[in-house]
Amino acid sequence: MSSRPAPFTIGIEEEYQIIDPVTRELSSAANSILPILQRTSGDNIQPELNLSQVEAITPVCHSLAEARREVVQMRRAVIHTAGQNRLCIAAAGTHPFSHWKDQDITPKPRYQQLADEYCQLAFEPIFGFHIHVGLEDRAIALQVMNRVRPWLGVLLALSANSPFWQGEMTGYDSYRTLLWSQWPSSGPPPFFDSLEEFNALAQSLVKTGLINDPARIYWDVRPSARFKTIEFRVSDVCLTVDETIMMTGLIRGLVRTCYEQEMRGEPVVAVRNELIRFAQWNAARYGLSHELIDVIEQQRYPAATLVEQLLRLVQPALEAEGDWDKVSSQIYHMLQRGNGASRQRDAYRQRSCLKDVVDFIITETRKGV
């Protein structure tokens, strides 16, 4: 494997809800705002599977400050254009009460194929957040993926932002994770001994017709099929710009840390996928309010303990990027006030009104924009 220094560039993809400001329901109105957005923002704003959502994509960024500017600009453009069309924009992993039966699929062949193949799953609107970190050597990227797997549950707990589904308080911090886990190529990736082993699996999935493109391997972290990046897909879309940038900086720090471990030849623990999957279910269930699972030590710890352990692990990488103060302060702030899911529940408890929750999400989405 090449020892060429990794650039650790970053790219962010956020999926936003389109909201009717009167009913607070999801609105299948993407086609009314996308043409305007694409004239002003180009290909950085894209359609998604459902017409009640749009995806915003940053260009390649080299610093958290640059990434923040791009996310602010994206959110501002989408919120402004939606407002001109009497719509609102919300950033949460699920809508608190809109029903999946009321959703329309975006009329494009790619999405229609997904709807034909996956049926009801394709109509269940969920909203994610993907972070790309630049790694030019694909074999190294795969080994980095092996090393970040044990931390997926902690990343999910921090970003969990979907406690409601179809009018019910689900008991989960990230119900989006439960919905997404029904897709056959979702979830944590297996451990791979080599790039050849990964390529063989991808080829088998295509050869058997289970997928038509390696890009349809939707693991929670994966080597990107299109870019020289490692892509994290484990997170709910975050309420605020601050949380989006916090997660981006933390994930880049984790990638850089694991890359340096690989370059030093440090041993890696091949944690069984079943254990990681259970740990992620636990993170989706409880978020930061309970215990998380250390899959390497095979112990339960208070969530704050494992979050702080992750912070200590990545501190040298964050300091090397100049991101330590920004990322650590935001994480400690979240440990005090709660993640997006707990704050959504707090908004609901004020009057037991789900429309209030939608209004809270809309307000949080605008913060810093």
Question: pLDDT tens for residues 3-14?
Answer: 344 579 999 999
Q: Is the pLDDT of residue 84 over 80?
A: yes
- Distance, in Å, from the CA atom of 352 to the CA atom of 42, rounded to the nearest integer, reads 41
Write down the H helix ranges in the chain.
30-41, 64-84, 109-118, 120-123, 138-148, 152-159, 175-180, 195-207, 241-264, 273-286, 303-321, 324-337, 340-351, 354-366
Give 187-217 pLDDT, tens digit per residue: 999 999 999 999 999 999 999 999 999 999 9
Average pLDDT over residues 285-302: 97
Answer yes or no: is 115 within a domain: yes
Give 321-354 pLDDT, tens digit per residue: 999 999 999 999 999 999 999 999 999 999 999 9
* The pLDDT of residue 6: 52
Answer yes or no: is 72 within a domain: yes
Q: What is the CATH number of the domain that holds 303?
A: 3.30.590.20
Number of domains in the chain: 1
Residue for token pair 């809109």: 98
Q: Quick one: CA torsion of 162, 167, 168, 172, rounded to 10 degrees?
A: -10
Answer yes or no: is 165 within a domain: yes
Average pLDDT over residues 85-112: 96
Give 295-314 pLDDT, tens digit per residue: 999 999 999 999 999 999 99
Average model confidence (pLDDT) across the chain: 96
How many CB atoms are located within 10 Å of the residue 269 CB? 12
- DSSP strands (E only) in the chain: 10-19, 45-47, 53-57, 88-90, 128-134, 164-165, 168-169, 221-223, 229-236, 291-294, 299-302
How many CB atoms are located within 10 Å of the residue 110 CB? 10
DSSP designation for 40: H
Q: Is the pLDDT of residue 229 over 80?
A: yes
Whether 63 contacts 339, CB under 8 Å: no
Whose CA is closest to 148, among 205, 236, 219, 215? 219
Answer yes or no: is 4 within a domain: no
Q: Is the pLDDT of residue 1 over 50?
A: no
Answer yes or no: is 1 within a domain: no
Share of the chain above pLDDT 90, in %: 96
* The pLDDT of residue 4: 41
Share of the chain above pLDDT 70, in %: 98
Answer yes or no: is 261 within a domain: yes
Residue for token pair 């529940």: 345
Q: Is the pLDDT of residue 246 over 90?
A: yes
The residue type found at 165 is W
Answer yes or no: is 232 within a domain: yes
Give 125-164 pLDDT, tens digit per residue: 999 999 999 999 999 999 999 999 999 999 999 999 999 9
- Distance, in Å, from the CA atom of 43 to the CA atom of 75, rounded to the nearest integer, reads 15
- The CA-based diameter of the chain, rounded to the nearest angstrom, is 58
* Residue 303 to residues 6, 37, 154, 243, 250, Cα–Cα distance (Å): 31, 40, 8, 17, 16
Residue 282 belongs to what domain range? 10-366
